[in-house]
Structure formats: structure tokens, C-alpha cells
Amino acid sequence: MIVRYIKSACVVVEHDNTKVLCDPWLTDGIYYGSWYHYPPLKFQAEDFRDVDYIYISHIHPDHLDTATLKRLPKHIPVLIASFNEKFVRSIIKECGFEHVVEINAGETFRLSEDFQMEILGADFCDPSICGKSFGCTLQTHRSTSLVDTLAVFHAGGKTVVNANDCAYPVTLSACDYIVQKYNTVDMLLTGYAGAGPYPQCYVYQDETEYLRRAENKKNQFLEQCVNYADHLKPKYFLPFAGQYTLGGKLAELNAYRGVPELEELDALLLPKLRSRGLFSRMVLLNSGESFDVEAEISSAPYTPINLVEKEKYIREVLSLKRFSYEEDPVPSENELLDMLRSAQAAMIDRLKKRDIQPWLHNWNVYISAGESEKMFRIPLNQLGVETVGLEEIQSPFLKVHIDPRLLRRILERKAHINNAEIGSHLRYERDPDEYDRALFVCLYYLHLS
């Protein structure tokens, strides 16, 4: 098998001229215009018209990029998990693909005579770890009521595990299954960094605090990478996925995301591995280069990026980008108030049906009203949205600062608040400084029916 690295979680896994394109994100400006590639991607979707299959791990745009999919031939079979919720299938079908193959978790799918894959679920159910809204209904790697999936490729006696975005703690039984069935993992493709709004989108007192929290986040995700290596004991591992650079007015937040550069991993990651007695060998690849799993050799040595050139590119190019919603007309305060009242009623109804509405009686939620010095107060356990002044805000509170144009898109279900926060478009203030997952779960339901 040969693993060719393209960018972020996009790789091509090939054996005997059968190619599987995994999670192709080959455009710039996803997450409503905030995520970009660096170095700028040299590839286009049309460069992969010859692949035999496309594997999509889950629904997030850096894995399921509709702009990329629409430019690929529609006869290519697209392989996905047989999710209980059919959102992934629906999006792919809307892109025009003729064959969407839903694979039951743990079921072997034959790609060619000596090339097969499985799709497993990130199943060890703990929403506080995986970052998703709710826990999975079934607690087995054969469950498909989840969001993230990982893939196992096996050919010529070699095994490659593509863990993409799966957080290690929610893959425990899947990892046990892989070890038991395949015994040896020759190569692990694993995330080493986390996307999302923390800490860069939260309000803290000074830059030192942002950098401290970013460093803690960085170490948390590096430890996750080490835990994967400890569990699966791969001969080689490729750090990938979650690689992005913020553009537009959010470019100034790049330094506070807690996302290490690949160039830092020799100093940051390898000592953590060695301290645990782990000797898996790290493979770093530039975009377009590959690793031959059987021959155990890279197509070319890794060439580090120039960080000074990157900062210049962010400053001179990416910071000038515009977000998709910035072309929209700005809604009035009254228009948003009317929409929020309808959306709040729909939200409370949905939460009651899921029996989660009682969780949030202590929090006061406020959403900014554009340039106004007032905010919308959004009760989570009773009807009634109102506009209040800043002096009326009461603790415990969560303030959500959001562009009114993006807010309208979210309320109209033309955008999703989870994608908006992953794209770093929201700004949060909270008192006390505690993360309450249930609070954010409720906000995910704040939209019109």
C-alpha cells in the first residue's frame, strides 16, 4: 500500500492501482470563508478524477467539502458509514453522485482482489470528550448513530488505520477490535491537533492567558496522539488532519488556536512518545508526497515551511479575504428579534421532546445585536426573547457575539452554529469561566423549524 498525503485529512490510499481518495477538502474558504490551506494547495479536484473510490469519514466541511465533490466525476462510488441519520448520504447525493455505498460498521468492503477496508465508529460514548452534541445510542464500534468514523485499510498483509478526527478516548473498543483482528498496524494516520473555537474565540484578560490556554490545548491533543500510538503500536505514524489557517478578520486569531506546526513535532511529540517507551516512527510528508508502507520509504524528505513567509502570506493575502455572509444585507434589530422569538419557541419544543430542557435553568444566555450596545436575552426554559442593555446582564451568563448576517443565516438554517464556531466566527464571554456542554447543545437547536 501507498499513502499519499494531500493536505489536512485528505490522503489517497493506493494498492495495485486501486485508489481511495479520503476526505477531500481541496478548496479554500470553508466554514463560511474562514479556513484556508497553507502552504496554498497546488492541487485541484480535477487532479483526482482517476480515483476508484472516495471515502468520507463524517459531515464536517474539512472532510465533506461539497465544492470539491461537485467537481469530481459522479460515477465514482462514495463510501460512508451506514449512519442512522442520513445527512452525509443526502449531501453527497445532492452533489450528484450516482453510487453512495453505506457500509455497516465493522463490515469488510472489498476494494479489489487483495485490497479491503472497514469503517468503524468512534463509539466509547462520552460527549464531553468527543465534542459532539449527544452521546451515541449504542456503545459498540458497530454503532452508526455517531458522527466520527475511522477506516482500516488492509492489503498485501499490511494494515493502515485512518483515524482522521476521532478523539482517542471515544475509540477504545474500536482500537481493541483492530488490535485483536489485525494484530500489527503498519501505519497510523492520526490527528495531533484540535480545531474549534477554544481558546481563541473566548474573552480572556490578556495575551498571556490566551497563550497559556493554547499551550495546554496543544499538549492535550499531542497526548491523544501518543495514546493512539500506545494502544495500536504502529510501526509508523503520520500526523495529519485539523490543519488550517484562519483568514479574513479572524486572521489575528491564528496565534491563539493551540495548533502546532508539523515542524514542532520533533521537539514536542517525539519526547512524549519516548517517555512512554514507544518507538513508532513518525513520518512527515509535504503535500503530494507519499509513503510506501511495504518498502517503508517516503517519496521525498520532508521540507519544513518558512514560518516568516507564512506570516507574510496571512498578513498580505488571507487577512484580506471576505466571509460568505459579508455579502448579505444587514438585518434590522427588530427582524432578528422576531426571528429569535420564533426560533426560541421551536428550540424549547425540541429540547422538551429530548427531555434535556431542565439542564439549563441556571444560565442566562445573551446574543449580541450587531453594532447595538444591547443584547438579546434568550431564556432556555421559558418563552420570551427580549432586548436588554449591558447593565442588565446577570450572572451566570454566556454572551455570544456574532455578526447579525451570520446570525440570520443560522436562524434560517442556511448555516449551522456548530460550523460557525468551528470556523471561529463566534466570540464568547462567560461568567463563571466554566464549560457546560448542555448549554451549547441547546444553542444548536436555536433555529426556525
Evaluate whether the domain defined by 2-319 bears CATH number 3.40.440.10. no
Phi, psi for 14 (deg, rounded to 5): -130, 140
pLDDT in tens, 395-436: 999 999 999 999 999 999 999 999 999 999 999 999 999 888
Which residue's C-alpha cell is 472516495?
54
Q: What is the mean pLDDT of residues 348-367?
A: 77
**pLDDT of 359 over the 90 cut:** no
| The domains spanning 2-319 and 325-444 adopt the same CATH topology | no
- Beta-carbon contacts of 426 under 8 Å, excluding residues fewer than 6 positions away, are 197, 201, 400, 401, 402, 417, 420
**pLDDT of 167 over the 60 cut:** yes
Nearest to 87 by CA among 102, 72, 107: 102
| Long-range Cβ pairs for the range 257-260 (8 Å, 24+) | 257/195, 257/200, 257/214, 257/424, 258/193, 258/194, 258/198, 258/199, 258/200, 258/213, 258/214, 258/215, 258/216, 258/217, 258/218, 258/221, 259/193, 259/194, 259/195, 259/218, 260/192, 260/193, 260/218, 260/222
Taking the CA atoms of 404, 406, 409 and 410 in sequence, report the sign of the dihedral they define. Answer: negative
Phi, psi for 239 (deg, rounded to 5): -70, 125
The pLDDT of residue 356 is: 64
- From the number of C-beta atoms within 10 Å of its C-beta (0-12, 13-18, 19+), residue 142 rates as middle
Nearest to 407 by CA among 382, 364, 371, 439: 371
Taking the C-alpha atoms of residue 195 and residue 179, their distance in angstroms, rounded to an integer, is: 28
CA angle 315–410–125, rounded 5-degree value: 95
User: Is omega for the bond preceding 432 within 30 degrees of 0, making it cis?
Assistant: yes
The pLDDT of residue 109 is: 98
Which residue's C-alpha cell is 456503545?
139
Give the domain ranges of the chain.
2-319, 325-444
Which CATH number applies to 325-444?
Answer: 3.30.1050.10
pLDDT in tens, 360-377: 567 899 999 777 789 999
The pLDDT of residue 123 is: 61
The pLDDT of residue 219 is: 96
What DSSP string runs through 299-313?
SS------HHHHHHH
Q: What is the mean pLDDT of residues 256-263?
A: 96
The pLDDT of residue 280 is: 97
Taking the C-alpha atoms of residue 34 and residue 81, their distance in angstroms, rounded to an integer, is: 28
Q: Answer for the pair 400, 363: CB distance below 8 angstroms, yes or no.
A: no
Nearest to 25 by CA among 43, 3, 52: 43
Read off the pTM: 0.92
Q: Answer for the pair 293, 1: CB distance below 8 angstroms, yes or no.
A: yes
236-249 per-residue burial string, b: 16 or more CB within 10 A, e: under 16: bbbbbbbbbbbbbb
**pLDDT of 133 over the 70 cut:** no
Beta bridge partners of 121: 149
Instruction: Tell me if residue 110 falls in helix, strand or coil.
Output: strand
- From the number of C-beta atoms within 10 Å of its C-beta (0-12, 13-18, 19+), residue 169 rates as middle
Taking the C-alpha atoms of residue 235 and residue 326, their distance in angstroms, rounded to an integer, is: 47
